[in-house]
Structure 1
Amino acid sequence: MTQPDPRTALSNQLADVLSNHSVQPEVKREITVTFRVSSDEKARLEQRCIGVVQSDYIRARLFDYSLPRSKSIIPEINRQVIYELKKIGNNLNQQTKAINEAVKVGYQPLSNEAKEYLQTLKELAEILEQTHRQLTQTIE
């Protein structure tokens, strides 16, 4: 079984952390349903759905799912920082994976320098994770 691309894996991991795990069950939804509402009804719906995807809210109310959690509103500056952190994290994961793969196939003995580099990468990954947690905690 092949490992997913590190960039994709990290991106998915960050997306999971940032995303709101909405209503259940997780199924592929292929059919679109539309309906008309008055302006007052639209205003009430928008008020109730602040920070929540409207379709998730409506689905929860119609089908007795648990109501989705309100998503955190992330300031633009934090979104930019998170984007940059994702890019750095992707690069770190790619480098770590390359070193580990090289060691597995025997191309490169794991020298002290490489071991120190791997440790530095792990420490940077932890710092990125902590920074991400701090950015999202200040929002809630």
Structure 2
Amino acid sequence: MQPDPRINLSNQLADTLTNRSVAPDEKREVTITFRATYAEKARLEQRCSGVVQSDYIRARLFDYPLPHPKLVIPEVNRQAIYELKKIGNNLNQQTRAINEAVKIGSQPLTNEVKSYLRTIEELTALLEQTRQSLTQPTVEG
């Protein structure tokens, strides 16, 4: 009988994780400085894009997981997203009101109403597409 591959994988993962510390338990109190050439400094800055240099160096030196770069959504985008959400909420309320009126019979489902609902649907899709493009974060550096 062959051993279960999941157990083998689990054991390998456990071995790997025991050799890697995610974060040290002790407070860092010692400062270490070193000299580098301008080319080395530029290379380090390029590799650290969006990550604190000391965190990057520590991760590379001590086999910690590499930290994720800090991602930022520009303030102007955040304001635009807020306004787009308000517009989207208004469109949803209009759609809900029309559908409810049609459902209870106080508004007939005319071609004009159908056209208006399609327009609202298209606007909602366009708003979502615009919101998605505005929420693409940039790496802070």
State the TM-score, normalizing by the size of structure 1.
0.49
Larger Rg: 2
State the TM-score, normalizing by the size of structure 2.
0.49
